[in-house]
A and B are shown apart, each in its own frame.
Chain A
C-alpha cells in the first residue's frame, strides 16, 4: 500500500494574545510598558500518523481538541511548529463551505470562481460544468445571484463543485448536517464511490452514527493528542465515555499577577466550605486576593462552565459594584441566592482584570468543581439573585 499522508512528530503551537486590539498604539504601548501579554499553547502535540490511499478516516474529539488545526496543517494552510507532513496527491480542504463563494455572483460565475480557487483550469471546469449542475439540481437557478439562494441551495452548489473535481485527498470539517436528506445521501454515495477509486477522506464530525457507518479508521483527539487511532467503534465508544471531570479539572492560570488570587472558597448557606450543593440552595464564592501593586479599581469576575458551555459569567463592573481603593489583602464574595442550574457538575473560573477588562491580572481556570444535587424544583435563570460584596 502507498500511503496518502504521513505525519511525523508534529507539533503546532499558538500564541494567544490577551490584547485583542490590533493597533499601532497598542504595540507601542506594549513595547514601552512591557505589558505585552501572550501565552503559548499547543493545539497539537506529538502527532504521528500514516494514512493509506483509499481510506475513509474519521476525526472525533471535543471542541478545541485540535481537529480543524490538524486538517489545516494537512492542507498546508498553516505551517507546523515542529515535525513533518508528507502528502501524496492533490488535497482539497472543505473546511468552511462559504469561503470560496461570492454571494454577489451567480451560481454559474461561482462555479468558475470556486473551481479556480481549488485549482482547476478553465478547461477542466468547462468539462465538468454540466455534471456539476446536474448533481446539484440547481439548473433553474444557475443564473441567479447566490445571495438569493437558500442555505441548502448554497450547500448543494458548493458540494457539487468540490465532490466532482478530481482531487486525491478530501478534508471535510463538520460540513454535514445542513442540506436535505436526499442530497446528503447522494453525497455520501458519491464519497463512497470516490473511496473505491482510491481517494482518501478525512471527515471531522460530531455525529457518532456517521462516523461509525462510514469510517474505516477513526482518530480520537483530546487536548491536541491522539488518544486512540484505529477501529471506529472503539474510538467512538471511548469518545462517548470521555470522563467529563477529567476535562473540567484540568486547570490553568494566566495573567501578570499584579493582583493575585490566593484562594477560592465555596461556602454553603451555613458558611461551611464544601463542593456539594443542592439545587435551590444558597452558594457563596469567596475570592481571596493579594493586591501587590496597590491597584485601586480592578474588576472581579467569575464564570461557571458546564463542559465548555458558559452558564453564568458575572463581574463587578457589569454589576456596577466598585471596590474603590482596594485593600492590600481581602476577600470578595459572590452570592447566589438559589442555584438554578440543571446540571450535576460544573466548573468555576475566577479572574481579576483592570476596570475595563483590557489587562488581565490573574485568572484561574477551572479551579473548583461544583457538584449540584438535582431535584424537581424549578428556579428560572433570569430571576436568580446575585450579590457582590467586599470585605
Chain B
C-alpha cells in the first residue's frame, strides 16, 4: 500500500517537475538541449583553436561528456534544494520524503534520455559505426543513476541543516568538471598520476560510456565492477544519512 502510494507520488512529482521546467518559456524543451549545444559550441571552438586533441569525432566526444555531466549536475543541484522547496508539503502531510528526491533525479534522467535521442541523430549524421554493444549503455547509465541518487540523498539531507552546501557543491562540481575527462581525452594525464586521477569514479564511468557509444569497444569489466561497487557504496551511505535525518526534517526545515 505504502509502496503503491510512493510510486504514484514519484510519478506525479516527476511529471509536474518536467512540466514546470519548460512551461512558460517560448522554446520549451529545446532550452534543455540548446544549453548543452551552446556549451559544446563554445568549448569546441576554444579547444580546437588552442589544442587539438587527437580524438575521433571530437565534437561528439565532447557533446556526450557534456550531456552526462549536465545530467549529474542538474540532478544533484535540483535534489539538494528540493526538500526545502517542498517544505510546506513536508510540514503538512505524512508521505515518504524520498519520493521528492527520486522524482527530482528521474526528471533529470528523462531530460538526459531525450537529449540522448538527439545525440543519437548526430551519431547517424557523423556516421559513427553502430553495433549491438550500444545495448550495454543502459547498464552503465543505471550505475551512474545509482551514484547520482545516493549523492542527491546525502546532499538534500545536509542542505536542510547547512544552507552553505549549495556553494560548496557548486565548487565541487566545478572542480569535478575539470577533473573528469570531458573536454580532454584521458591519455593526456601523465602515467604516474593516472592512478590518482582514476580515484574519481566519474572519470572511469565516462571513459567507459564513451567507449561503448562512440568507439564501439567493450570496456574492461573489472572497471565496471569497481565503479558499480563505488556507486552502491555512495548510494547506501547517502540513503543511510537521509534515513537517519528524515524525521527531523519537519522540525528543522
Physical interaction between A and B:
yes
> Which residues of A line the B interface, CB within 8 A?
14, 22-25, 27, 72, 75-79, 91, 93, 95-96, 98-100, 102, 104-105, 109, 112-113, 116-119, 121-122
Q: Could you tell me if B16 and A77 are in contact, using CB atoms closer than 8 angstroms?
A: no
Partner of A99, one of B20, B24, B91, B161: B91
- Nearest residue (CB) in B for A25 is B164
What is the minimal beta-carbon distance from A132 to any residue of chain B, in angstroms? 16
Cβ of A79: which chain B residues have Cβ within 8 Å of it?
Answer: 247
Interface size on B, residues (CB 8 A): 28
What is the minimal beta-carbon distance from B75 to any residue of chain A, in angstroms? 20
13 intermolecular pairs with C-beta atoms under 8 Å apart: A24-B164, A72-B250, A75-B94, A78-B247, A78-B250, A96-B88, A98-B88, A100-B92, A105-B20, A112-B12, A116-B9, A117-B12, A122-B8
Q: Could you tell me if A27 and B162 are in contact, using CB atoms closer than 8 angstroms?
A: yes
Q: Could you tell me if B93 and A118 are in contact, using CB atoms closer than 8 angstroms?
A: yes
Which residues of B (1-30) have their CB < 8 Å from a CB of A?
4-5, 8-9, 11-12, 16, 19-20, 23-24
Query: Does B95 interact with chain A (Cβ within 8 Å)?
Result: yes
Partner of A96, one of B11, B19, B91, B250: B91
Q: Could you tell me if A91 and B94 are in contact, using CB atoms closer than 8 angstroms?
A: yes
Question: A119 to B96, alpha carbons, bound, how many Å?
Answer: 11
A-B residue pairs, 9 tightest by C-beta: A99-B88, A76-B94, A116-B12, A95-B92, A23-B164, A99-B92, A96-B92, A24-B162, A116-B8
Q: Could you tell me if A105 and B19 are in contact, using CB atoms closer than 8 angstroms?
A: yes
The A-B contact count (CB < 8 A) is 75
Q: Could you tell me if A77 and B4 are in contact, using CB atoms closer than 8 angstroms?
A: no
- Nearest residue (CB) in A for B90 is A77
Most interface-central of A72, A104, A113, A119 (chain B CB within 10 A): A119
Question: A98 to B91, alpha carbons, bound, how many Å?
Answer: 12
Question: A113 to B19, alpha carbons, bound, how many Å?
Answer: 12
Q: Could you tell me if A119 and B5 are in contact, using CB atoms closer than 8 angstroms?
A: yes
- Nearest residue (CB) in A for B23 is A104
Q: Could you tell me if A23 and B93 are in contact, using CB atoms closer than 8 angstroms?
A: no
Q: Could you tell me if B20 and A102 are in contact, using CB atoms closer than 8 angstroms?
A: yes
Question: A241 to B181, alpha carbons, bound, how many Å?
Answer: 74
Cβ of B251: which chain A residues have Cβ within 8 Å of it?
Answer: 14, 78
- Nearest residue (CB) in B for A105 is B16
Most interface-central of B4, B8, B92, B250 (chain A CB within 10 A): B92
Question: A95 to B16, alpha carbons, bound, how many Å?
Answer: 23
What is the minimal beta-carbon distance from A120 to any residue of chain B, in angstroms? 8
